[in-house]
């Protein structure tokens, strides 16, 4: 089934329901949205001359037009390539080249600079030209497609090496949508999702379950994440959910509004994409209520590997509650997850190995990259590159990306474990731990620390904290106090960049 069918369905059965808001302002009902999308799809095939399977790039900051272009692309049987608008121009060009996208829809500030050999047209979604496309022409019928046809080329964030395009099929996206309902949350037509996080990534994926439920999509006027705006939007929308990276949750609860704002209209924050520290998780629940759900996923199995439900967040009486909060939850309904050794053999409970996944949401492969596809999918399992352990109840605890594990004197040290301890110090805002090459030990542990404004934190105090909680060999040998940690566009700490900084000192 073509996933654009979800919108055709909502456009008929929920025609009068609000579909798109910009801030508090309604931009389209589901009836109007479905009609605009079918008309735009007609132009993609007619005026723009695109053929089924052609790639359409979306180079836009968050905007309500995102939903239109995404669905029109699918409606016309084309492949969407959502690209993070904050990428470096060289990274943008690489993706445009690699996908040979023939048409790009772009925000006004990005449109003039887009060029690539295969690119025939760039349409500024804030322009009259875009508006005019909707004003004339007839709605086109939806293009049929096979379940394995590619719908979304998801470029991995590329914290190492060149980004790779995970081919996500219509089947993958539909399975992700159904899994949201089964594992993450129920949605009604009175609810909405606010896109505070980039629509080119997780937040954009969650457009789908909300269209399926005919719930509204809200794009903040700032087009991004601003804690004050998060709270302000709660005064004009009800049943609000949003996706947030853990760093966003942290900024939200650190904001002065967090203790005072009325959060009755906040329904769910789905967080994921990076480690959430237990202390932050607890504080978020104290300040905002029982509104957290965690997901663990990656571009190759979008938003869908494991989920820590609202119930598991709040089940304080469970004897393993703390351990569960530090986990990423249990496998989503539509996938199997296992922890395996280097030969892909399953390990026993508690043993640490690579997380492998198979099931309905796992990509069909990497775009034009058979070697990387064979490596990632060999044996029928997706090799996530994440290291973790399962407990007897099926809860997965992630240790780290395999490349981030520090090996010191032959012992494996998981940076996350050290970071959790450092973050217990109230003067520390952020901590990131990496390995530094060392002739004697192989690697030694080094911590980068961002302190809370006005706080004084000494290496001695951190040393004592670590000695109180950690084996001696895991204790950082050096602390570097920095103003901020380098992060990529989706808020992930760039450990490669920290390693580079270290090699230069
Ligand atoms: P991306 O493909 O850019 O979404 O990055 C996916 C990677 O982010 C995963 O392979 C994990 O390393 C990390 N990640 C995603 N979700 C979580 C989570 N809930 N906790 C810890 N790390 C996560």
Confidence at residue 300, expressed as pLDDT on a 0 to 100 scale: 97
For the stretch 310-341, pLDDT in tens is 999 999 999 999 999 999 999 999 999 999 99
Domain CATH code at residue 11: 3.40.50.980
Confidence at residue 160, expressed as pLDDT on a 0 to 100 scale: 46
The ligand 1 atom nearest the CA atom of 398: 21
Say which residue, 150 or 254, is predicted with more confidence.
Answer: 150
CA distance 138 to 213: 26
Q: What is the mean pLDDT of residues 99-110?
A: 97
Is the residue at 64 inside a domain? yes
Length of the chain: 505
- The model's pLDDT over 270-293, given as tens digits with 9 standing for 90+, comes to 999 888 889 999 999 999 999 999
141 DSSP 8-state letter: P
The domain that contains 489 carries what CATH number?
3.30.300.30
**Does the Cβ of 384 fall within 6 Å of ligand 1?**
yes
Q: What is the DSSP string of 453-472?
A: TT----HHHHHHHHHHHS-G
208: in domain: no
Give nearest CA residue, ligand 1 atom 6.
298
Specify the ligand 1 atom closest to the Cα of 276.
20
- pTM (2 d.p.): 0.88
The predicted model gives 129-146 an average pLDDT of: 93
pLDDT at 503: 86
Judged by DSSP in three states, 75 sits in helix
Q: Which of 95, 200, 298, 324 to mutate to test the pocket of ligand 1 (most atoms within 8 A of CB)?
A: 298
* Ligand 1 contact via 386 beta carbon (within 6 Å): yes
Instruction: Give CA–CA dist 372/483, Å, rounded.
Output: 37
272 C-alpha to ligand 1 centroid (Å) = 7
For 445, the domain range is 406-504
Q: CA 251 to CA 226: how far, in whole Å?
A: 9
Q: Residue 401: is its pLDDT beyond 80?
A: no
Are 332 and 62 in contact by the 8 Å Cβ rule? The answer is no
Orientation angle between helical segments 30-45 and 128-135, nearest 10 degrees:
100
**Sheet with 240-244, edge to edge strand ranges:** 25-29, 18-22, 216-219, 192-194, 240-244, 266-272, 292-298, 301-308, 330-331
Is the CB of 365 within 6 Å of ligand 1? no
Q: Which of 145, 173, 191 is the last residue of a domain?
A: 145
Give the residue, by CA position, lying nearest to ligand 1 atom 1: 298
Does residue 349 lie in a domain region?
no
pLDDT one-digit tens code per residue, 433-462: 999 998 878 789 999 999 999 999 999 999
Is residue 135 in a domain?
yes
415: Cβ below 6 Å to ligand 1?
no
Q: Flag whether pLDDT at 159 surpasses 50.
A: no
Residue 358 lies in a domain: no
Question: What rounded mean pLDDT belongs to the chain?
Answer: 94
Query: How confident is the model over 368-388, as pLDDT tens digits?
Result: 999 999 999 999 999 999 999
Residue 173 has pLDDT above 70, yes or no: yes
Distance of CA 481 to the CA centre of its chain: 28
Q: Which of 123, 145, 167 is the last residue before a domain boundary?
A: 145
Does residue 240 form part of some domain?
A: no
Ligand 1 pocket test: which of 168, 386, 396, 417 has the largest number of ligand atoms within 8 Å of its C-beta?
386
Residue with CA at minimum distance from ligand 1 atom 4? 298
Identify the domain boundary among 115, 145, 175: 145
Ligand 1 binding pocket includes 451 (Cβ within 6 Å):
no
Strand order in the sheet with 55-59: 121-124, 103-106, 55-59, 79-82, 150-155, 165-169, 365-366
What mean pLDDT comes out for the span 485-500?
87
Lowest model confidence (mean pLDDT) among 2-6, 213-217, 252-256: 252-256
Q: Domain count of the chain? A: 2
* 81 in any annotated domain: yes
Residue 366 lies inside a defined structural domain of this protein: no
Question: Rounded CA gap, 320 and 91, in Å?
Answer: 44
Confidence at residue 469, expressed as pLDDT on a 0 to 100 scale: 87
């Amino acid at each position: 089934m073509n996933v654009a069918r979800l919108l055709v369905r909502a456009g008929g059965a929920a025609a009068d329901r609000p579909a798109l808001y910009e801030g508090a302002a309604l931009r389209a009902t589901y009836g109007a949205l479905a009609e605009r999308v079918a008309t735009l799809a007609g132009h993609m095939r007619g005026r723009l001359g695109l053929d089924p399977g052609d790639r359409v790039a979306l180079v836009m900051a968050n905007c309500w037009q995102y939903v239109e272009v995404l669905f029109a692309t699918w409606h016309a049987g084309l492949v969407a390539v959502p690209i993070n608008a904050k990428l470096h121009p060289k990274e943008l060009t690489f993706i445009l080249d690699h996908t040979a996208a023939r048409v790009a829809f772009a925000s006004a500030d990005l449109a003039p600079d887009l060029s690539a050999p295969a690119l025939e047209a760039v349409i500024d979604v804030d322009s009259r030209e875009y508006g005019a496309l909707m004003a004339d022409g007839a709605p086109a019928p939806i293009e049929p497609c096979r379940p394995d046809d590619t719908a979304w080329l998801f470029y991995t964030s590329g914290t190492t090496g060149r980004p790779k395009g995970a081919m996500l099929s219509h089947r993958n996206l539909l399975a992700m949508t159904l899994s949201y309902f089964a594992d993450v949350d129920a949605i009604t037509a009175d609810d909405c999702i606010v896109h505070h996080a980039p629509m080119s990534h997780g937040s954009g994926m969650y457009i789908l379950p909300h269209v399926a439920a005919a719930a509204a999509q809200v794009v903040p006027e700032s087009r991004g994440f601003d804690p004050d705006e998060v709270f302000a939007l709660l005064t004009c929308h009800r049943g609000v959910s949003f996706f947030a990276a853990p760093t966003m949750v942290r900024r939200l609860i650190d904001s002065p509004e967090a203790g005072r704002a009325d959060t009755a209209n906040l329904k769910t924050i789905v967080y994921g994409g990076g480690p959430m520290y237990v202390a932050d998780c607890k504080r978020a629940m104290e300040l905002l209520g029982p509104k957290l759900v965690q997901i663990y996923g990656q571009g190759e199995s979008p938003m869908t590997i494991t989920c820590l439900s609202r119930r598991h967040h709040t089940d304080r009486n469970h004897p393993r509650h703390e351990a569960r909060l530090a986990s990423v939850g249990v496998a989503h309904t539509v996938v199997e997850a296992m922890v395996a050794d280097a030969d892909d053999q399953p390990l026993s409970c508690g043993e640490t190995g690579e997380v492998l996944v198979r099931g309905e949401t796992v990509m069909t492969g990497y775009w034009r990259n058979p070697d990387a596809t064979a490596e990632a999918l060999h044996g029928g399992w997706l090799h996530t590159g994440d290291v973790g352990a399962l407990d007897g109840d099926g809860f997965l605890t992630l240790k780290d990306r395999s490349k981030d594990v520090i090996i010191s004197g032959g012992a494996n040290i998981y940076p996350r474990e050290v970071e959790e301890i450092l973050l217990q110090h109230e003067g520390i805002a952020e901590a990131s731990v990496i390995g530094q090459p060392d002739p004697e030990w192989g690697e030694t542990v080094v911590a980068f620390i961002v302190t809370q404004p006005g706080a004084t934190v000494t290496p001695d105090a951190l040393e004592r904290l670590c000695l109180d909680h950690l084996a001696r060999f895991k204790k950082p040998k050096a602390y570097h106090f920095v103003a901020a940690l380098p992060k990529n566009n989706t808020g992930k700490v760039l450990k490669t960049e920290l390693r580079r900084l270290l090699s230069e000192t």
